[in-house]
Amino acid sequence: MTAQASPASTPEAPVPAARARGRDTGLYEPVAPPARRPAPRRRIRRTGRRLMPWLYLAPVLVFIGVFKLWPTIWGVYLSFFHVRPYLGNQYVAGANYQRAFSDPDLRAAVLHTVIDAVGAVAGSILVGFALALLLEGPARHLRILRTAVFLPTVVAMVAAASLWQTLLYPSRYGAVNSLLGAFGAGPAPFLSSTHSSLASVILIQVWKNAPYDMVIFVAGLAGIDRQLYEAAHLDGAGALQRLRYVTLPSLRPITTIVLTLGIIRGLRVFTEIWVATSGGPAGSTQSVVTYVYEQFSENNDAGYAAAIGTLLLAVTILLTCLNLWWRNRREAW
C-alpha cells in the first residue's frame, strides 16, 4: 500500500485542471484526494484498524489478566515467602522449594496425579473411540443416541462426583454394588479402599469425558475418505483389518493431540478428587492440586502451597512447549 492511496483504494488519477479550480467538468472522474492530504489521519486509521481486534479482545484480556495472569504471578511471588497474612510475609528465598523437593507426601501426590491423568485420558480415548465407532453415522437414531450419550459432559463435575460417591457406596446395598450383586459379584469397596480409590476416581472422569472424545472421534471418522475403505475392501481386508490399517492411522493426528493435551490438563485434576474422596482414604487419591489446597487451607501454609503451584506451572509450561515443538517438527517433515 503506497502512502498516497486512499482507503477506497482507487488508483491515483491526475486531477483535471478544471476540477482543481472548483468547477464541475461533467465527466465522471475518480475523486482522488489532493496530493497534500494530512498523513497522520491515514496513519491513525491504519493504526486504528490494527488496534480494532485488540479492542474487541480487551474485555476478555482484562478478565484473564485479573483472574488468571495476576494470581499466577502473585503466586510465584508468594512462593519465596513464609506467608503470614496479618503480620507481614517473611522472605525465605528457596526454603519452600527445598521442602517441596524433599516432601514424600508431595512425591506420592505427583505419582497419583500422573497415574490419574494417563489413566483417565487413555480410558476416555478408548471408550470415546468405541462409542464413536458404534454411534457414527448420519442416521437420526444415531444422532439422538449421540446426544444422550453426550449428557455426562455437560453435567457439572461437582454434581457428577457427588452423585458417583452415592452410587459407589461400598456396602452391599449401594447402587453399583446391588447391580454387581445381581451378577453374583461381591460388594466392592470402590472409594473407601486404598487399592481401588484411584481407579474409582478415574472411572468417574472417564464417564464424564469419554463422550467429549467421542464427538471428536466422530468428526474425525467422518473426515476419512470413503475410497480408502473401498480400496481396502477390494484388497480383501476384513472389518478389523480396515479398522487397523485405515481408521486408526487416519485418526492418529487427532488421537495424539487429544492424548497430549488431555494429559497436560489432567495434571491439574482437583474437583473430582476433592468432592469424591478429599484425597483419601489415607492419601491414596491425593493429587498435586488437592495437596496444594490442603497446605493452604488446613495447614495455613500459603507460601509452601504457592511453591508447589509454581512447580506445577513450570512443569505444565514445559510439557506444553515440548508438545508444540514436537508437533511443529512432525509437520515440517
Partner 1 sequence: MHSTRPRPNRTGRAMLAAVAGCALAGTAALSGCSASSTAGGSGGGGSLPQSKNAHATGDLTVWIRGAGDSPKAYQKIFDAFTAQSGIKVDITTATLTDFETKLTAAASAHRLPDVVLDDAAQLGNFESQGIILPVDKAKLAGADQLTDLAWKSATDLHGQPYAVPFSAQANVLLIRKDWLDKLGLQPPKTWDDLAKVAKAFTTQDPDGDGKADTYGLDIPGSTARGYTSWYWSSFLYQAGGDFVKSAGDGKYTATVNTPQAVQSARFLENQVCTAKDVQPSVLGDDTTATNKAFQTGVAGIYLTGPYAYATMDATTVKGKYIVIAPPAGPSGTTATLAEGTDIFTMADAKSDEATKLEEFMITPQAQQLGMIGVKTATVVRLSVNKTVDAAAVHNGDQRWQVAQQVYADAGHYEWDNLPNWTALRQKASAGLNKLLSSCGDTQSALNALNGDLNSALRQQGVG
- Residue 119 to residues 83, 111, 202: CA-CA distances in angstroms? 36, 12, 7
Q: Minimum CB separation from partner 1 for residue 230, in Å?
A: 39
* Residue with smaller CB distance to partner 1, 57 or 318: 57
- The sign of the dihedral angle between the CA atoms of 74, 75, 77, 82 is positive
Q: For cell 496530493, what's the residue?
A: 35
Task: Assess 172 for contact with partner 1 (CB under 8 A).
Answer: yes
Residue with Cβ nearer partner 1 (241 or 300): 300
List 37, 43, 84, 107, residue binding partner 1 (CB under 8 A): 84
Distance from C-alpha of 4 to C-alpha of 9, rounded to nearest angstrom? 10
- Determine which residue in the list 20, 44, 69, 139 makes contact with partner 1, applying CB under 8 A: 69
CA pair distance 140, 101, nearest whole angstrom: 55
The answer to whether 181 contacts partner 1 (rule: CB under 8 A) is: no
Instruction: Determine how β-strand 81-82 pairs with β-strand 90-91.
Output: antiparallel
Closest listed residue to residue 289, CA positions, set 75, 85, 89: 75
- Spatial distance between the Cα atoms of 117 and 123, rounded to a whole number of angstroms: 10
- List the x/- string, 229-248, binding to partner 1 by CB under 8 A: --------------------
Cβ nearer to partner 1, comparing 3 with 234: 3
Q: Please pick, from the candidates 169, 207, 229, 245, the single residue that binds partner 1 as defined by CB under 8 A.
A: 169
Closest distance of CB 118 from partner 1, Å: 24
CB closer to partner 1, 147 vs 299 = 299
**30, 65, 223, 238: residue in contact with partner 1 (rule CB under 8 A):** 65
Query: Which region, judged by CB under 8 A, interacts with partner 1, from 138-146, 148-156, 165-173, 223-231?
Result: 165-173
Residue count, binding to partner 1 (CB under 8 A): 46
> Which range binds partner 1 by CB under 8 A, 24-32, 46-54, 121-129, 260-268?
46-54
Phi, psi angle pair for 329, to nearest 5°: -60, -45
By CB under 8 A, residue 324 contacts partner 1 = no
Q: Which residues contact 75 (CB under 8 A, 6 or more apart)?
A: 306, 309, 310, 313
Total number of residues shown for the chain: 333
Please tell me whether residue 87 binds partner 1 under the rule CB under 8 A.
yes
Encoded one letter per residue, x for contact with partner 1 by CB under 8 A and - for no contact, window 291-310 reads ---x-xxxxx-x--------
Helix (H, G, I), strand (E, B) or coil at 81: strand
User: Minimum Å distance from CB 11 to partner 1?
Assistant: 12
Q: Cα-flanking dihedrals φ and ψ of residue 260, to 5°?
A: -65, -45
d(C-alpha 201, C-alpha 165), whole Å: 9
Rounded to a whole number, what is the largest CA-CA distance in the chain?
Answer: 103
Residue 76 or 114: the one with the smaller Cβ distance to partner 1 is: 76
Q: Is 213 in the site for partner 1 (CB under 8 A)?
A: no
Q: What is the per-residue DSSP string for 241-310?
A: HHIIIIIHHHHHHHHHHHHHHHHHHHTT--HHHHHHTTT-STTTT--HHHHHHHHHHTS--HHHHHHHHH
Interacting residues toward partner 1 by CB under 8 A: 1, 9, 50-51, 54, 61, 65, 69-70, 73-74, 77, 81, 84-89, 165, 169-173, 189, 191-194, 276-284, 294, 296-300, 302
